Amino acid sequence: MKYKYSYKDTENSAKAAGINLPISLKHAVNICSELRMKSLADAKSILEGVIKKRNPIRFRRYNRDLGHKKGMGPGRYPVKASREILKILRSAEANAQVKGLNTSNLIIRHIAVKKGSTQMRYGRHRGRQTKRSHLEVVLETGTTPASKKESKKEEKEKSESEGKASKEAPKVSANKEADKETINKEREKPTEKADKKEPVREIKNDNEKGSKEKGHKDEPGRGEAAESKPLNKINTPKDTTKDNVRDMKEDEIKKKEKSEND
């Protein structure tokens, strides 16, 4: 008999079904709600823990007068139902391998339980109906909601960090521009000083020219000598007492010689 799934099959999915499984519908409903949208590896570890009575299953439905478990409220260890569901999950994983899918990225995209056919028990249990359930599982490659949330958080953190960096970047550039302006101003300062000193030098040159011209008019020989020499090495006459004394002596000697000749 062909089973009709309530979930559409795709290229990246694999399915498996169990018909008239001897498990309780109420137990299977709570197990399926615990495994839905989880990775295949996590689901298998949960069911193995239930079989070993380490990890209880939380009963969200059909929990009237049910004992509580530590940290979760009403819960149980449905061992028989967990074994049957684990078999169906392994069957779906094998179908995915045949299809060529990567089993490490498989997620339980769809898992549902329906009531099976009601048969009557026989023997000393006659008059009682058997518990039968139909189970369907669809595995698909993808990411779990928890991993999506983590990726979204990481993206938000990256965007926030980039936004902070973009806000701080203009400040750094403004500081650099201010530093450049100060450096340029410091470079321009010595040039301004040089510009201020230039007219003083021109005045000195004018004075020197004037002294040269005077030398040409009064003492032409000296003026020519002064032109041939550099400006900085001009030798000006020095009026000292020794020179005057010598001149006086020479004049007296000349006068005596003239008087003797006469």
SS (H, E, C) the chain: CCCCCCCCCCCCEEEEEEEEECCCHHHHHHHHHHHCCCEHHHHHHHHHHHHCCCCCEECCCCCCCCCEECCCEEEECCHHHHHHHHHHHHHHHHHHHHHCCCHHHEEEEEEEEEECCCCECCHHHCCCECCCEEEEEEEEECCCHHHHHHHHHHHHHHHHHHHHHHHHHHHHHHHHHHHHHHHHHHHHHHHHHHHHHHHHHHHHHHHHHHHHHHHHHHCHHHHHHHHHCCHHHCCCCCCCHHHHHHHHHHHHHHHHHHHHHC
Does residue 223 sit in the same domain as residue 180? yes
Does residue 35 sit in the same domain as residue 133? yes
pLDDT of residue 184: 72
CATH code: domain of residue 31: 3.90.470.10
Q: Assess whether 131 and 158 both reside in one domain.
A: no
**109 & 46 share domain:** yes
Q: What is this structure's pTM?
A: 0.57
pLDDT tens track for 175-213 = 656 666 777 777 666 554 445 445 545 444 444 545 444
Tell me if 133 is assigned to some domain: yes
Place 83 in a pLDDT band, splitting at 50, 70 and 90: very high
pLDDT at 224: 47
**Average pLDDT of span 57-80:** 93
For residue 14, what pLDDT band results from cuts at 50, 70 and 90?
very high
Same domain, 133 and 156: no
Tell me which of 82, 117, 142 is where a domain ends. Answer: 142
Domain range spanning residue 173?
151-234
